[in-house]
Structure 1
Amino acid sequence: MGSAVCGLVLVLPQLVAVYFMFLAYMADPVGPWDSETVAHSNFASGLVLAVSAVTALLTWLFVKATWLRKWWYAIPTALAIAALLRLTVFAPEI
């Protein structure tokens, strides 16, 4: 029962992070004047980084308590890498 609760506690914020990551990658500026779209993409990516950090800490806690397995670290790591890539390499250009 503890594993199911811990999994649910981790999956819900990660689904929100996936949604914001989707929004960040779908943001495409219309032209050089559209700095608002770039700002929204950067904000969404930053929010994903924050949520990934919190869920990584919760994952560490749950793995230490042996309620979850170590593969749960992969989800916040993948989200953080995707957010960092959106902020740097794949940043929208204006």
Structure 2
Amino acid sequence: MLGLPLGLIHLLNALFVLAAVAAGPQGPWDDRGYTRISTACFLSLCLSVIGGLITLVPSVRRAMGAWWLAPPLVLGAVAYVRMATLA
């Protein structure tokens, strides 16, 4: 039962990361493209924090295991790198 909300959060997070990595601005003049990518990265970072905090609750960690910390860490790192290298 605990895996369903975490799975949905991680799936949504992965979709935001995919959108941020796959899409690129059309050129240096494309301000909307840069804004969309940075928004997807920001939402992905927020979902990574939420997923990590849910996983760190002792009852969830005991029932689900510590490996559930890997998806928010990996997806958050990818989103952060994409946002940092966007310029």
Gapped runs of 5+ residues in structure 2? Answer: none
C-alpha displacement of 1:13: 1.2
- Contact kept, 8 Å, 1:27 with 1:38, in 2: the verdict is no
Partner of 2:40: 44
How many residue pairs align between the two structures?
Answer: 85
Matched, 1:9 2:13: no
Partner of 1:33: 29
Matched, 1:60 2:56: yes
Gapped runs of 5+ residues in structure 1? Answer: none
Alpha-carbon displacement from aligned partner over 1:13-37 (angstroms, at most 9, x marks no partner): 1101101111111221112221110
Q: Give the structure with the larger helix fraction.
A: 2
Output the CA distance in 2 between the equivalents of 1:87 and 1:77.
15
Output the CA distance in 2 between the equivalents of 1:73 and 1:25.
22
SS in 2 for 1:67: helix
Out of 77, 80, 86, the residue aligned to residue 81 of structure 1 is: 77
Output the CA distance in 1 between the equivalents of 2:72 and 2:32.
27
Identity, in percent, stands at 31
**Which structure has the larger Rg?**
1
One-letter code of the match for 2:2?
C
Output the CA distance in 2 between the equivalents of 1:80 and 1:57.
13
**CA RMSD of the aligned region, Å?**
1.0
Alpha-carbon displacement from aligned partner over 1:27-72 (angstroms, at most 9, x marks no partner): 2111222111011000000000000100101001111xx1111111
Greater mean deviation of Cα atoms: 15-24 or 27-36 = 27-36
Output the CA distance in 1 between the equivalents of 2:72 and 2:28.
33
